Amino acid sequence: MHIVLVEPEIPGNTGNIARLCAATGCELHLVKPLGFSIEDRYLKRAGLDYWHLVRVHVHENFAEVLKLYHGHNFYFNTTKASKRHNDIAYRPDDMLVFGKETAGLPQELLAAYPEHCVRIPMINDARSLNLSNAVAVVVYEALRQQDFAGLR
């Protein structure tokens, strides 16, 4: 399973997601521009001592991710989708894509892949979940569907 963060801004969120990747075996993809340095102390602190367990890939842009992972299923997480995240039958090599904290994924990207956009159910008045929480919700649903293969 691959987690793709498009232009993440907050090092603590990315650190928490890296720790999730370490605990689940997911690979982490960071798409530039990043709102922080990968050497950022907050990023490292949030990941604690798990960084050696994480496969991190840094990409110059999202087009690079699409090219490198052509043939994989991409699922774009957005509050604007009609399909719920648990309506998908996830596979082990899927790409779970999340946008930056302040704006989500670019509208052009969502418009290009409307059938691959998913959302986490929330009440109408809620704007969104914290990025690291949203990633955890979707990743664990995908792993649950695969009977948590490789996890104890």
Nearest-angstrom CA–CA distance, 75 and 94: 8
- Per residue in 56-82, pLDDT (tens digit) is 999 999 999 999 999 999 999 999 999
For residue 151, being part of any structural domain is answered with no
pLDDT at res. 49 = 67
Q: What's the one-letter identity of residue 90?
A: Y
Please say if the pLDDT value at position 4 is more than 60. Answer: yes
112 is written with which tokens? 């290009």
For residue 71, being part of any structural domain is answered with yes
* Residue labelled with tokens 């982490």: 28
For residue 130, being part of any structural domain is answered with yes
Question: What total number of domains does the chain contain?
Answer: 1
Instruction: Kindly compute the dihedral angle of the four CA atoms of residues 145, 9, 74, 107, in this order, to the nearest 10 degrees.
Output: 130
What pTM does this model have? 0.94
Give the CATH number of the domain where residue 107 resides: 3.40.1280.10
For residue 117, being part of any structural domain is answered with yes
**Residue partners of 48: CB distance under 8 A and separation at least 6:** 19
